[in-house]
Amino acid sequence: MSQTLKRERDKHFLELEDVLQSPVHSLGLTLRGSRMERCIQDLLQELNHFKIILRPHFYLSDGYGTCEGTANIGLAFWDVDHTLSLIAARYLGEYYRLEDIRMVLRHEMGHAFCYSYKLYRLKEFRQVFRVKGHFFNTYPVGNRYHRNPWSHDFVNPCGDCYAQKHPDDDFAETFATLLSSKLNWKRRYRHRKGALAKLYYVESLIQEWGRRRVIVKNDLSKVYGPVEEISSTVRRFFAAKRAQRN
């Protein structure tokens, strides 16, 4: 190895170690100019195409998720920075490409849409998505659920059977499938009657509710895990997150 390459390698390791030892909240992370911002702009264009007036509040967080009953969407802070996304891939074993991020945003937007209009209270919604009991208090313990990749009753855009986790995620995955122009859902699910029926139903909900004023006024104070409050170092954060998943 040449001395020049060795110096470059050592410099890279020093910079990486500096990042790993830094508290997350001290990194000055922002959506502006990031690939995440581009994906958000793409989502907004899709919302315009479907004439959906709801605009969620996006913020950097300790992971992806929509705060219960709100239109506040948390975005994984590491996906706004290339180095952090590589660190996340090393610790968590996953790296989100642009299209992966776009699908996550569509999914979370589905939650926000459902919550903002309280669609889960509709009788037909509860029948179509088989809601039993309290909508928010019936998630599977430990995030574990049965997966059936051959089911004809659920969409499966990412191959992880996530729609089968809970009616809330069933709706969100169906919503995300509709928004994605690449999926060609009418053709893809033409032989899966259960999933196709849900897609047509969600399409009708978008047409009925998309232009209406929201029922739930969004409370911007209801956010979970904002990046500004993550005081642990990058190394400790990802080590803890990996342990939590295992």
Average pLDDT score over the chain: 92
Is it the case that residue 183 has pLDDT exceeding 90?
Answer: no
Residue listed under structure tokens 């945003």: 105
| pLDDT value, residue 104 | 98
pLDDT of residue 2: 47
Least confident of 106-110, 122-126, 136-140, 147-151: 136-140
Distance CA(63)–CA(237), nearest Å, equals 11
3-state secondary structure of 179: helix
Kindly provide the residue ranges of all beta strands, DSSP E only, lying in the chain, ordered along the sequence: 57-61, 65-66, 72-76
Q: Is 131 helix (H, G, I), strand (E, B) or coil?
A: coil
Q: Note whether 177 and 183 are within 8 A (CB).
A: yes
Q: How many helices (H) and strands (E) does the chain have?
A: 9, 3
43-85 residue pLDDT tens: 999 999 999 999 999 999 999 999 999 999 999 999 999 999 9
Q: What pLDDT score does 10 carry?
A: 37
**pLDDT at residue 181 in the model:** 82
Q: Is residue 1 scored above 80 in pLDDT?
A: no
Residue among 98, 167, 90 at smallest CA distance from 135: 167
CA dihedral 80, 47, 169, 139 (to 10 degrees): 80
Tens digit of each residue's pLDDT (9 = 90 or more) over 129-177: 999 999 999 888 777 898 999 999 999 999 999 999 999 999 999 999 9
Q: What is the CA radius of gyration of the chain?
A: 20
